[in-house]
Amino acid sequence: MPTDTAKVKRYIEAHLKHIRTPQEIAQPLGLSYETLRKDFKRAEGITLGRFIMQARVQRIKQHLVATNLPCSEISYRVGFVREDVAARVFKRETSLSMQAYRKRYTEGS
């Protein structure tokens, strides 16, 4: 039976802050990592690791616009252990620094 990727995505969203590696997702869902990895890639067209990074970037965007929290705190809240890694990933995914993103999307608010 194929993996229920909607269930996997909900789990990731709910536990994003605490997930360190994609392997940590399989056991709580009662799946083997290899099956999860293959089924997720087949169904979603991206790897689990990539999905986790994209989910973290989306969560950072939400925090940047909705709060005045410092970027370091936001990075920690979405599951990055180091702010510099979060900043690098965010810039790679959006072409903007976190500060520039916040300024662009909160001006006039």
- Measure the CA–CA gap between 55 and 37, rounded to whole angstroms: 17
Query: Distance of CA 44 to CAs 6, 14, 17, 104, Å?
Result: 10, 19, 22, 31
**Which residues of the chain register pLDDT less than 50?**
none
pLDDT computed for residue 109 by the predictor: 55
At 3 the pLDDT is 83
The CATH class, in words, for 5-106 is: mainly alpha
Please tell me the pTM assigned to this model: 0.92
* Annotated domain spans of the chain: 5-106
Structure confidence at residue 83 (pLDDT): 95
